[in-house]
Amino acid sequence: MKKNIGLFLLLLCISCDDGDLQIETVDFDSIETPDFCKTVSATTANLLFKINGDEALILELPAGLLKNEVNTTIITSGISTTTILTYRIFTDDVPRDYFCDELAPTSPTVSEEIIAEEGDILVTTTAVDAETFEHKIELSGISFITKDKSRITDLRISDFGTVTTTL
């Protein structure tokens, strides 16, 4: 009987090892509107981010992706060297100023950073008035690969949010 209990405990310990995987999902649905530091522009690159406690989802859009015109079809930009989506985990809660200060703060520090390797950014633009445009940004097929080669694709971040530009 003692051998059976010992064998059972050994099997239980071995079978419950899930490795070092810390990230199961990337969920930013509770943050509806992305933040930004400078005015969002159709003529320059834009840095948009969402903060959820000690996590951040950062989207870098190239100049010209957002257009000050109504689009009749969805504009698609694949993840590339100019369209970058990054997921970061920090050692503590992240203030908005972390991304806006010229000199990066010393705290909190980044404990893990994962850059998306696949997926598309979808932009739908509508006119608010003759000079103001709203850009609904969605994410599709986003896939992160962690440093231990684990793929994270169960993402709940399809609606990144809406930003406004003006002429």
How much is the pLDDT for 16?
45
Residues in contact with 29: Cβ distance below 8 Å, sequence separation at least 6, in sequence order: 156, 157, 159
How much is the pLDDT for 20?
46
How much is the pLDDT for 17?
43
Q: How far is it, in rounded angstroms, from Cα 88 to Cα 109?
A: 10
> Tens of pLDDT along 136-161?
999 998 888 888 887 776 565 688 99
Residues in contact with 95: Cβ distance below 8 Å, sequence separation at least 6, in sequence order: none
DSSP 3-state of 159:
strand
How much is the pLDDT for 155?
60
- Give me 40's structure tokens: 């969002």
Where are the alpha helices (H) located in 24-164, listed in sequence order? 97-100
Q: How far is it, in rounded angstroms, from Cα 130 to Cα 128?
A: 7
Q: Residue 114: pLDDT band by 50, 70, 90 thresholds?
A: very high
- Give me 19's structure tokens: 């490795």
Among all chains, which residue has been given the structure tokens 């992240």? 94
